[in-house]
Amino acid sequence: MPTPPITVRGLLLDMDGTLVNSDAVVARVWRGWAVEHGLDPEEVLRVAHGRQGHVTMATLLPDRPMERNIAENRVLLAAENADTEGIVPVPGAPAFLAALQDLPHALVTSAPPDLASARMVAAGLRMPQVRITAADVSASKPDPEGFLKGAAELGFPAADCAVFEDSAAGIAAGLAAGMPVVGIGPRAAEHGPTVHVPDLEHVRVTPLSDGRLRLTFTD
């Protein structure tokens, strides 16, 4: 059966894994950190996607002082900012963002502002005018704070916004905010999004006469 459309007023877009494929950089940086700390790199990567770095560290090494996690995360962020090799747009992302140019949408990312800018530039993507980054929230995904703030910035109730996400943490955050979640890519499929598509080439956004946005999906 065809996937039913979703009708909302605003769109909230994750960055890494949703608009930007930064997996190569994330793997290089976090695999190195995992080896340094005697952890399984695959388990570290599973936890790291979608979360702020210091939260990933706290999840994996719960007995460490948070001050140490924050200090180490600064080092990793510097490495990630400097490493843009292999960063590309997710298939369909350039056309998808172009279609949203004059429609209500916001970036909601766990990356800090400098890293978000560096990765969007590296992928050749337009930065949305409205954005919520790690600097704007007190709690990382899977906490819904970022998406709730994104909806508020757009001027809509949470239930009138749809989230686009790829990670377990991000999907959980969107659902906790009371929003339908469009899961993007293979990583999203196993985490229970409202709708799942392979990439952004399989999503169409149609503005309606009453100002709402209709999202339709192809397999």
> Which candidate in 16, 23, 166, 199 is catalytic?
16
What are the pLDDT digits (tens) for 154-176? 999 999 999 999 999 999 999 99
Question: pLDDT for 110-142, tens place per residue?
Answer: 999 999 999 999 999 999 999 999 999 999 999
Q: Are 41 and 140 contained in the same domain?
A: no
For residue 23, what pLDDT is reported? Answer: 87
| Residue 100 scores a pLDDT above 80 | yes
* Same-domain check for residues 95 and 165: yes
What distance in Å separates the CA atoms of residue 39 and residue 56, rounded to the nearest whole number? 12
Residue 214 banded pLDDT, cuts 50, 70, 90: very high
Q: 114 an active-site residue?
A: no
Range of the domain at 165: 6-22+87-217
Strands 195-197 and 181-184, by their bridges, are parallel
- Specify whether 44 is located in the same domain as 149: no
Q: What are 105's two structure tokens? A: 């949408």
Question: Both 65 and 103 in a single domain?
Answer: no
User: Would you call 199 a catalytic residue per the annotation?
Assistant: no
Q: Is residue 72 part of a domain?
A: yes
Residues 29 and 120 placed together within one structural domain of the fold = no
Residue 152: per-residue pLDDT: 98
What pLDDT, on the 0 to 100 scale, is given for residue 51?
A: 85
**According to the model, what pLDDT value does residue 177 have?**
98
How many other CB atoms are found less than 10 A from the CB of residue 47? 18
2-57 pLDDT per residue, tens = 799 999 999 999 999 999 999 899 889 899 999 999 999 999 988 887 788 999 99
Question: How many C-beta neighbours within 10 Å does residue 102 have?
Answer: 7
State the catalytic residue, choosing from 14, 23, 143, 199. 14
| Residues 132 and 95 grouped into a single domain | yes
Domain presence at residue 158: yes
Q: Are residues 106 and 198 in the same domain?
A: yes
143 alpha-carbon distance from chain centroid: 13
* Rounded Cα distance, 106 and 131, in Å: 5
Give the domain-ending residue among 35, 55, 82.
82
Based on the fold, state whether residues 56 and 113 are members of the same structural domain: no
pLDDT exceeding 90 applies to what percent of the chain? Answer: 85
* Of the residues 32, 52, 82, the one at which a domain ends: 82
**Which pLDDT score is estimated for 208?**
98
Return d(Cα 56, Cα 4) in angstroms, integer. Answer: 35
pLDDT at site 81: 87
Q: Taking Cα atoms as reference points, which of 5, 201, 13 lies closest to residue 103? A: 13
3-state secondary structure of 70: helix
* pLDDT at position 50: 77
Within a domain: 1: no
Sign of the Cα pseudo-torsion (34, 40, 45, 47, in order) = negative
Q: Count how many domains the chain has.
A: 2
Pair (93, 165) in one structural domain:
yes
Q: Kindly report the number of other CB atoms within 10 A of residue 161's CB atom.
A: 28
The model's pTM is 0.88
Check whether residue 206 and residue 196 sit in a common domain: yes
The answer for residues whose C-beta is within 8 angstroms of residue 90's C-beta and 6 or more apart is 17, 18, 19, 20, 21, 184, 185, 199, 200
Chain Cα centroid distance, residue 33: 22
